[in-house]
Amino acid sequence: MSSTIGDTVRLSVFGESHGEAIGCILSGLPAGEPLDREELLLQMSRRAPGRDKTATTRRESDQPDILSGLLEGRTTGAPLAMLIRNTSQRSGDYASLARLPRPGHADYTGHVRYHGFNDVRGGGHFSGRLTAPLVFAGAVCRQILKRRGVAVGGHIYAIADVADRPFDPVEVDAALLNQLAAVPFPLIDQEQEATMRERVEAARLDQDSVGGIVEVAACGLPAGLGSPMFDGIENKLSALFFGIPAVKGVEFGDGFGLASLRGSQANDPYACAGGRIVTLSNHNGGLLGGITNGMPLIARLAVKPTPSISQKQQTVDLVSGQEAELEIRGRHDPCIVPRAVPVAEAMLAFGLLDRMESERSWG
């Protein structure tokens, strides 16, 4: 079993970085939902490489070909299949990888898991390229959520040691989320962009890479979405977020910051506002007992530095069993955090729509 998730809306992803194609099946969608193709392409372009001025090479067109489930621009209720043909299949760069696993990548673990039969070219099925179908699926779900009044968005919370301003967990709204989705380097505090780019450029010059943190939010959610224990929103979303390559941590609300708070600080007091029950603070990120309380949902994802770096690294030759040195060639992102933002949003949108379709009690 692998690469499949969801309870009612289900996503099944296929493909390898250097294979013939990548794509997905998105099944269980509600019928009759119009899909705006331009909006789908826009979301996919946010993830595509070569978009940013700092990274000129290796452009991928990534034109999604919708093969089923759509008739006259609306979902039919049948499975929606999407295909992207791989055009750039340069596998020469990776020839030695089958013998020399790259540190920080899944080469070695995939080798053991699949007894050496896995496609190791470009990371194969483990490649970050597989996030293109994730963004596609999220972009479909996002359009449906929007018609239900739910907005989803995100920003670069941090790159290396440089932090953006966090979302105001009470005030964040659809306007801000939509605005962030329209820019290539989404930040709340634009003034951090230059410093962040400096960190990335410094790493690149050092043949190195940097990590960061992505913050995502959803507004307009009804209260009462989610279920106790293992079917809570945190459980479902974290299982999705950890499906994004390089994500090594997930937190909701104040997350790890809650560890050093007292209960009197972390408890969000209830109040009435405009006929609705709200909380005056939102340390819990809109979630209590795994269920939405109607406040903005806030999550953060730790993204490790791109493991593909050009520096000489120590590894082991899987054939000879001897220790060896490895130099990875080819073009690599010195920082994938900006491109991880739309992927994280996509997983959030998918997870929320699946919960809405799986539970009848929220409406």
Instruction: List the one residue from 158, 187, 344, 352 that touches a copy of itself (CB under 8 A).
Output: 158
Query: Residue 307 or 342: which CB sits closer to a copy of itself?
Result: 307
Question: What is the closest distance, in whole angstroms, from the C-beta atom of residue 225 to a copy of itself in the complex?
Answer: 8
Q: How far apart are CA 300 and CA 313, in angstroms?
A: 30
Chain positions 216 to 235 lying near a copy of itself, rule: CB under 8 A, are 223-232, 234-235
Q: How far apart are CA 45 and CA 39, in angstroms?
A: 10
Instruction: List the one residue from 63, 109, 178, 179 that touches a copy of itself (CB under 8 A).
Output: 109
Question: What is the closest distance, in whole angstroms, from the C-beta atom of residue 132 to a copy of itself in the complex?
Answer: 13
**Among 9-17, 56-64, 147-155, 172-180, the segment contacting a copy of itself (CB under 8 A):** 9-17
Farthest-apart Cα atoms in the chain, separation? 71
172-196 as b/e, with b when 16 or more CB fall inside 10 Å?
bebebbeebbeeebbbbeeebbeeb
Residues in the chain: 363
Token pair in block for residue 69? 């489930």
In angstroms, what CA-CA distances link 339 with 12, 45, 115, 118, 246?
21, 10, 32, 26, 12
Q: How far apart are CA 29 and CA 137, in angstroms?
A: 11
Q: Please name the amino acid found at residue 163.
A: A
Chain positions 25 to 44 lying near a copy of itself, rule: CB under 8 A, are 25, 27-28, 30-32
Instruction: List the one residue from 154, 169, 253, 296 that touches a copy of itself (CB under 8 A).
Output: 253
Q: Half-sphere exposure of 192 toward its Cβ, with a 13 Å CA cutoff?
A: 18
Cβ contacts of 22 within 8 Å, gap of 6 or more: 13, 14, 15, 16, 83, 84, 86, 129, 130, 132, 133
Chain positions 269 to 298 lying near a copy of itself, rule: CB under 8 A, are 269-272, 277, 279-280, 283-285, 287-293
Binding of a copy of itself by 16 (CB under 8 A): yes
Instruction: List the one residue from 40, 44, 46, 119 that touches a copy of itself (CB under 8 A).
Output: 119
Binding of a copy of itself by 242 (CB under 8 A): yes
Question: What is the closest distance, in whole angstroms, from the C-beta atom of residue 159 to a copy of itself in the complex?
Answer: 8
Instruction: List the one residue from 140, 141, 210, 219 that touches a copy of itself (CB under 8 A).
Output: 210
Binding of a copy of itself by 192 (CB under 8 A): no
Question: Which secondary-structure segment (H or E) carries 26?
Answer: strand 21-27
**Among 43-51, 171-179, 190-198, 257-265, the segment contacting a copy of itself (CB under 8 A):** 257-265
Binding of a copy of itself by 243 (CB under 8 A): yes
